[in-house]
Every structure is written in C-alpha cells, then in structure tokens.
Structure 1
Amino acid sequence: MADEKPVVGIIMGSKSDMPAMEPCMQQLDEFGISYEVKVASAHRKPLEVHEWASTAHERGIKVIIAAAGKAAHLGGVVAAYTPDPVIAVPMKTSDLGGLDSLLSMVQMPSGVPVACVAINGAKNAAILAVQMLGTNCDGCRQKIIDFKAAMAEA
C-alpha cells in the first residue's frame, strides 16, 4: 500500500484526534486502500487546509475524511475547496460529549454537502469511503461485499 498513490485523504484538526482516528486507518489498511494523513486546523491553519483540500483531487484523492471537535468546521471548509466527497467524523469532546461537533458538521449550508458519521465513528467513515469508491471500482465494491458477508457470519 505504501507504494500506491493514496485515494483517500484523512485530515484532522489536531494531533489529539489521532487516537480516535486509528480505527479509520486500521479499517482502510484491512481493505488495502491507500490513504494520506494530514493534521491541520480549519481555524489555526486555514491556509494550509485550503492548500491541502484544493489540491487533493490532483494528487489522486477520491474521498476525504475530515475529523474535528468542538466548532468542527474542518469538514465544511474542506468541502468548500474540493470536488471530492467529504465524510465528517465528529470527535467526542469534554464539553458536550461530541454533540457540539456533530451539530457543527451536519448543519451545512445548501451547496456544500458533507456526509457525517457518528461521534468518534472513524471506522464507519472508512467503510463509507470504500463504499463511495466502490461506485466506480469493482475491487472496492467487492471488498465491501466480502466485509458485509463476514459480518453476517460472525
């Protein structure tokens, strides 16, 4: 996978989000899907986020997963700068348990859609990303078919 060009971009607002995002990366590894990881806050590093998001498609990224907490504007900011689908992962917070993050992510303005998974739903974000890839990739689609069959047998 390290030799393959990444097709999923993962961006998170803080290094402290990394442990909660490990299940996302593990699931993508299990599916054999290449990805890149970026840490940049929409509020503290907006120019860096803009550059990363606006060039993602040119780098071969087809789906972006954005994780953030509290105000959690990262997914929406990224979605404003890319033609690729964005999946938001609201991070659990100490203030409101992640409800603040969730509401920030699902209340997007018309024209800037962001898909959203559950609070700390990193694994589901990876699965959804591969399902999206599967709409144009038979190999990815088969990975999801096999994954769901294995879940049914467990």
Structure 2
Amino acid sequence: MAEPARTVPRLLFDRVARTPHAEAFRHPAGDDWSSVSWGEVGSRVTALAAGLIGRGIAPGAHVAVCAVTSYEWILADLAIVCAGAVTVPIYPATPPADVAALLRHSGSVLTFTDRPLPTTPLLYLNRLGELEDEGRRLLAADPEAVAARIAGVTPDHLATLI
C-alpha cells in the first residue's frame, strides 16, 4: 500500500494521477463558467512552477499573491508551493503603503497580482501564460525540475506566511 501524501504538492499530484479527467474547478469565463479537470490543473501548475524555478525562485523563497480570489490565484499558490517556495497572501484591499511594508518585511522576491503595486517584480495573473511558456521551455530541457522541487518539500515545509 502506498504511503499517504503528507504535503500539499503530493496531495495535488496524487489527486491528478487518480482522477485526471474529473472536474477540479469551475470558474467564471466571460458570461459563462468554465470547467477545469485535475489533469489540466496539474499541467498548468507544473508549467507555472517550472517558470518560477526558471526565474530563479529558490526553495524557501517568499512569493506574494495580492489579488482577488480567483482560479488564477489558486494556480499561483499551488505553483509557488510546488516550486518549494512560500506563498505570502496579501488581501487585495490592503492600502498600498501597507502592501509595500508587507512585501518588504516578508522578504517577497516576486508578487503575483491583478493590479499595479509598489516594490518587488510583478507578475500579472492575466499573463500567467507567459510564465507557463517559460516553464514548458525549462521542462523540455529538464523534465524533472519540478518533481525534484516537490521531492524536497516535507511536512515541515512552510507553505504560507501570514
């Protein structure tokens, strides 16, 4: 019998392996809703995590997410953890001066966002495709890049800094 998953990345990819065609999420898409399978989520998270690795995000690095809750927010959060980094969630209504202080004090090296923000390099959630493309290029050269990071994540790994 397989050992049960004990980390967020392992829980995610165990689910992807068990039910790749099952619906994972529904999210707004224009005037309608779009259904996303676990397989699609796994592919996108892998590509995004590889993109983060390709941009030099090291294990344990702090990466902020300051945006309204969305499917893209979830993908960013999962990709950060699968890259071995730590998510720093920032409530989107936080005043700009407080956002700057949170980013500075948390040591965030990159921020996923849906709005202009002070400090740190920004990655806009509506442009995740660019990071996915970067990740796919990295995976073509190093197919195990994300798996190696996931293997380094333990139950003691900090996933979120609040």
TM-score by length of 2: 0.39
TM-score by length of 1: 0.40
